[in-house]
């Protein structure tokens, strides 16, 4: 347990590659946000499935308030023959890889492969920690879904028109298993809520990820591991960049409280849930503004 941050820390250093390549990702991400508006807008989510691609400042919404960030979002590709595509449901599109900077796609593709391995590894450790077989989660993860967001945050203090603007990223829990947050060195922006309801900063530690528990792990563990409520309030001169990687179960995985967790507390706090259905419900409210 870290006393400085009052947050649990998992040491994955034996598994990580050099942190210079992580820096390359953040550099490529910063470059894309420095690119002019005409370049970014080419990749608008409106070209695709309203999920993959570029979202303008304020386009993403949390709890009916516009989030003051811009982002390039990528999702696991779904084949054209997938039942979802045939039903014309969201998340059916192609990822839109920026052409500028030219190395963007290669850098992040390598990153995604690496993060998928890391996610599986941490899930094996969690299985052991819960008293399950090391490979217990494999069947739920063999085609694990993933989402990667490359997010840019301007200074919230410079918003001219405050109409329905919330914060940089409104409070929420993430949807899946584990989120690996690769943030730049901006301090005091990312916050997590503690069990007693207080907000504390999750400050960047060089070469580390902040790891959030997602909703599916919350259901699996019947609240033994709570999904972390977090938010971003970026009031600072710097332009903050953060690249969360969401490591998720198979799209059609049925998640329900696990036996060892029911031995701790026999009351089931969650109904079984199919991950893909949970995801679609959440994504569909990400752009919802209630008109008054």
Q: Is 258 in the site for ligand AKG (CB under 6 A)?
A: no
Q: What are the φ and ψ backbone dihedral angles of 13, each rounded to 5 degrees? A: -60, -30
By CB under 6 A, name the one of 58, 242, 251, 255 that touches ligand AKG: 242
Instruction: Give the closest residue to 92 by CA, choosing from 104, 78, 106, 102.
Output: 78
- Binding-residue pattern over the window 158 to 197 for Fe ion, x denoting contact by CB under 5 A: ----------------x-----------------------
Pairing label, strands 53-55, 70-75: antiparallel
60 versus 124: smaller Cβ distance to Fe ion: 60
Least distance in angstroms from the C-beta of 241 to ligand AKG: 8
Residue 213 partner contact from ligand AKG, Fe ion, none using kind-dependent CB cut-offs of 5 to 8 Å: none
26 versus 107: smaller Cβ distance to ligand AKG: 26
The span from the CA of 210 to the CA of 13, in Å, is: 13
Residues 131-150, interacting with ligand AKG (CB under 6 A): 149
Least distance in angstroms from the C-beta of 243 to ligand AKG: 8
Read out DSSP for 140-176? HHTT--EEEEEEEE--GGG-S--TTB--SEEEE--SS
For the packed helices 19-34 and 104-129, what is the interaxial angle rounded to 10 degrees?
A: 130
Least distance in angstroms from the C-beta of 153 to ligand AKG: 7
| Residue showing tokens 């807008």 | 41
By CB under 6 A, name the one of 51, 123, 216, 232 that touches ligand AKG: 232
For the chain, list the strands marked E by DSSP.
53-55, 61-62, 65-66, 70-75, 146-153, 169-172, 178-183, 190-193, 199-201, 210-213, 230-232, 240-247, 254-255, 273-274
169 versus 211: smaller Cβ distance to ligand AKG: 169
Residue 149 partner contact from ligand AKG, Fe ion, none using kind-dependent CB cut-offs of 5 to 8 Å: ligand AKG
Q: What are the φ and ψ backbone dihedral angles of 158, each rounded to 5 degrees? A: -90, 10
154 versus 244: smaller Cβ distance to ligand AKG: 244
Q: What are the φ and ψ backbone dihedral angles of 187, each rounded to 5 degrees? A: -95, 155
Return the SS3 of 27: helix
Q: Is 230 in the site for ligand AKG (CB under 6 A)?
A: yes
Q: Is 169 in the site for ligand AKG (CB under 6 A)?
A: yes
By CB under 6 A, name the one of 49, 174, 184, 248 that touches ligand AKG: 174
Residues in contact with Fe ion by CB under 5 A are 174
Residues in contact with ligand AKG by CB under 6 A are 149, 151, 169, 174, 181, 183, 190, 230, 232, 242, 244
């Amino acid at each position: 347990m870290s006393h400085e941050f009052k947050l649990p820390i998992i040491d994955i250093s034996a598994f990580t590659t050099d942190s210079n390549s992580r820096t390359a990702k953040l550099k490529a991400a910063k470059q894309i946000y420095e690119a002019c508006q005409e370049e970014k807008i080419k990749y608008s989510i409106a070209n695709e499935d309203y999920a993959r691609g570029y979202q303008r400042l304020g386009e993403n919404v949390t709890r009916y308030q516009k989030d003051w960030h811009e982002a390039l979002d990528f999702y696991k590709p779904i084949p054209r023959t997938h039942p979802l595509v045939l039903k014309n449901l969201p998340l059916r599109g192609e990822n839109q890889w920026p052409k500028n900077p030219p190395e963007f796609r290669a850098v992040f593709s390598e990153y995604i492969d690496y993060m998928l391995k890391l996610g599986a590894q941490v899930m094996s450790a969690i299985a052991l920690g819960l008293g399950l077989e090391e490979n217990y989660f494999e069947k739920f993860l063999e085609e694990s879904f993933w989402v990667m967001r490359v997010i840019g945050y301007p200074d919230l203090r410079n918003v001219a028109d405050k109409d329905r603007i919330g914060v940089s990223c409104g409070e929420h829990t993430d949807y899946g298993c584990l989120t690996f947050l690769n943030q730049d060195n901006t301090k005091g922006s990312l916050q997590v809520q503690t069990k007693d309801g207080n907000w504390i900063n999750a400050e960047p530690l060089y070469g580390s990820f902040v790891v959030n528990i997602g909703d599916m792990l919350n259901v699996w563990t019947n609240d033994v591991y709570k999904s972390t409520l977090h938010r971003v309030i970026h009031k600072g001169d710097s332009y903050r960049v953060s690249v969360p990687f969401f490591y998720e179960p198979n799209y059609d995985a049925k998640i329900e409280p696990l036996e060892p967790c029911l031995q701790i507390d026999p009351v089931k706090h969650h109904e079984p849930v199919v991950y893909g259905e949970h995801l679609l419900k959440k994504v569909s409210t990400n752009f919802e503004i209630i008109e008054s």
